[in-house]
Amino acid sequence: MIATITYLSYLLTGLYLLVLVYMIRGWGAIKRPALPKREFKSRITILIAARNEEDNIGATINDLLAQDYPRELTEIIIVDDHSTDRTAEIITSYASQGVKLLQLKEEQALNSYKKKAIAEAIKQSTGEIMVATDADCHMGPQWLSTVANYFETYNPVMVSSPVTYYREQSLFERVQTLEFSYLIGLGASFIGNGRASTCNGANLAYRKDVFFEVGGFAGIDDVASGDDELLLQKIAVVYPGRIAFLKDARAVVYTYAKPTLKALLQQRRRWASKSTKYKDKKVVALAVGIWLFNVSLLVNLMAGFWFHALWIVFAIQLLLKFLFEIIFLLPITLFFRRPSLVVLLTILSPVHILYFVYVGFIGNTRKYDWKGRTVR
């Protein structure tokens, strides 16, 4: 039995290391784009779905209004998703500066209010390019012009751009920033390898005509989450070579880590819940393989109390995991100008084993709370 466990453990370890090598290659394949100075022509619509964001929405709108992209080519639409606080009032106070408020009024319960909000905003938009972000995000003044320049220079149909956490208040939040960098790097690396699979809706842009061409959120609107990744995968089926990751520091969007473990697990459960709807089943199989690799680490750690030889297997697995993750994460943290975060891998790497197994399990087995609603 020990021989079988050892063999399977090394097999799964080899799979995970191959995935990391694939990701290292994909991140390296993406170069900073050459974006010339130009007179912009594209009309851009910025989309935000907001629910109970009175503490954040004003600062986000101020960042959007401070963009250096031509104001006459910029449209800002914010959809208030049944907020019970002052979110709508705050948005309305910016009406004189061109910020448009839509209020979602759905009498029948939905499982994905956010997708409904975004779809309604797109229907009423006048832009050619939709740029989605979140109500608690911040961006520099060149964010929109950098995204628009990439569209006009390279003619993609969808662009995933970088997102990171900032202004962390604790070690717990800084560890989250490192883990989130891993996730952003994962999505970018798959795009770099020509196999777009994941992205983040806090910084995602796509052509409006392509959104309608693929049927919008039809077929994926039964899952609360997935307005980003599931849409990307629908578009990737039709336009596999025209989805890009914008590796440019000016295009970074900043948001906040979760302050508590409970809030973090709720968020990750929501993200994991959409994996069952992935169109690319090879990616699903790969995710299952990585989950099993982490399970094998836990099995070897626990079984080692009875069979000490398995502790050696566990130590080898953990060491290889740690070394390859450093190689992957260092260039990503350098891009975000936070290379010192890599030191926190000594904490994240072992803790992430239990976390990954737990979230992978509950993300597909239980309902969860999101913005005061219980969804699936």
CATH number at 87 reads 3.90.550.10
Residues 19 and 59 reside in one and the same domain? no
Q: What is the percent of the chain with per-residue pLDDT over 90, rounded to a whole number?
A: 73
Domain termination site, one of 241, 267, 293: 267
Cα(218)–Cα(122) distance, integer angstroms: 14
- Amino acid (one-letter) located at 262: K
**Does residue 272 fall inside a structural domain?**
no
- Give the residue numbers spanning the domain of 12: 2-27+280-369
Residues 155 and 288 reside in one and the same domain? no
- Please give the residue that has the higher pLDDT: either 112 or 7: 7
For 231, residues 6+ apart whose C-beta sits below 8 A from its C-beta are 206, 211, 214, 216, 217, 220
**Per-residue pLDDT averaged across 217-244, rounded?**
87
**Does residue 172 fall inside a structural domain?**
yes
Residues 126 and 206 reside in one and the same domain? yes
Per-residue confidence band for 274, with pLDDT thresholds at 50, 70 and 90: low
For 187, residues 6+ apart whose C-beta sits below 8 A from its C-beta are 160, 197, 198, 199, 200, 245
**Does residue 39 fall inside a structural domain?**
yes
Residues 71 and 209 reside in one and the same domain? yes
**Does residue 275 fall inside a structural domain?**
no
Residues 291 and 145 reside in one and the same domain? no
Residues 246 and 154 reside in one and the same domain? yes
**Does residue 314 fall inside a structural domain?**
yes
Provide the token pair at 289: 């393989």
Domain termination site, one of 222, 238, 267: 267
Tell me how far CA of residue 148 lies from CA of 38, 50, 188, 202, in angstroms. 10, 23, 19, 16
**Per-residue pLDDT averaged across 297-322, rounded?**
93
Residues 222 and 315 reside in one and the same domain? no
Residues 298 and 360 reside in one and the same domain? yes
Global pTM reads 0.92
Provide the token pair at 145: 């012009």
Residues 147 and 260 reside in one and the same domain? yes
**Does residue 274 fall inside a structural domain?**
no
Instruction: Provide the domain count of the chain.
Output: 2
Do residues 245 and 30 make contact, with C-beta atoms less than 8 angstroms apart? yes
89-101, pLDDT tens digit by residue? 999 999 999 999 9
Residues 142 and 190 reside in one and the same domain? yes
Domain termination site, one of 243, 267, 291: 267
**Does residue 195 fall inside a structural domain?**
yes
Residues 197 and 105 reside in one and the same domain? yes
